[in-house]
Amino acid sequence: MTLIVHHLENSRSQRVLWLLEELGLSYEVRRYERNKATMLAPPDLRRIHPLGKSPVIEDGERVVAETGAIVEYLVERGDGRFGPPAHREEALRYRYFLHYAEGSLMPPLLVKLVLGRVPLLGRRAQARIQPMIDVHLDHVEAELASRPWFAGSEMSAADIMMSFPLEAARARGGLDSNRPATIAWLQRIHARPAYQRALAVGGPYAYA
């Protein structure tokens, strides 16, 4: 049965399309545009899931929400490809970064994004958030300076989860050439054929 991906422009759901392309699973995309004034998802998404957020996937009668849960579901559906490595230490790193992406790295980036839309006081508050982001970016840089991928020597779903926050950081979170290992990692993922196919399928994406 073909999976349905409810895909919101410029959102976390781009990662779901990328993983599906890497796994070679058949899927259909239903695109949604943000409200131009509020930048929020349209009410139509609430017909799929009560929170009205993306990504959401449908697999027959099953509806799965939350990017991390979707990624784990798709890895399982893809016979474990891009899942936890066999080596214990790499498997532990895999699980850490799979959850770190949204649990720790994304929240301060999201706060900075929201504050950027608030006149004057928002800009002042942004200056206080940036040092918190820098701690995370330094942590990521140290990790990627020691190996090519987040879990180990091979790309995994942990890299797919880490892509959106680091792309957001590159766009507006202070990630630049002063962290060369992270920039090189971004270049590697953007060069992957499956990543490029996902961009073509998903439509405009401001962070690639």
Write the pLDDT tens digit of every residue in 21-75: 999 999 999 999 888 877 778 899 999 999 999 999 999 999 999 999 999 999 9
Q: Are 202 and 7 contacting, i.e. CB atoms less than 8 angstroms apart?
A: yes
In a shared domain, residues 72 and 119? no
Q: The tokens of 144 are what?
A: 């990627």
Domain span at 186:
88-192
Amino acid 114: pLDDT? 81
Is pTM beyond 0.75? Reply is: yes
In the chain, which residue ranges form alpha helices assigned H by DSSP? 14-23, 67-77, 88-100, 106-115, 121-144, 157-172, 180-191, 193-202
Answer yes or no: is 41 within a domain.
yes
Q: CATH number for the domain including 164? A: 1.20.1050.10
What is the tens place of the pLDDT at every residue in 69-79? 999 999 999 99
Amino acid 121: pLDDT? 65
- Looking at the predicted structure, is the pLDDT value of residue 178 above 90? yes
- Looking at the predicted structure, is the pLDDT value of residue 10 above 90? no
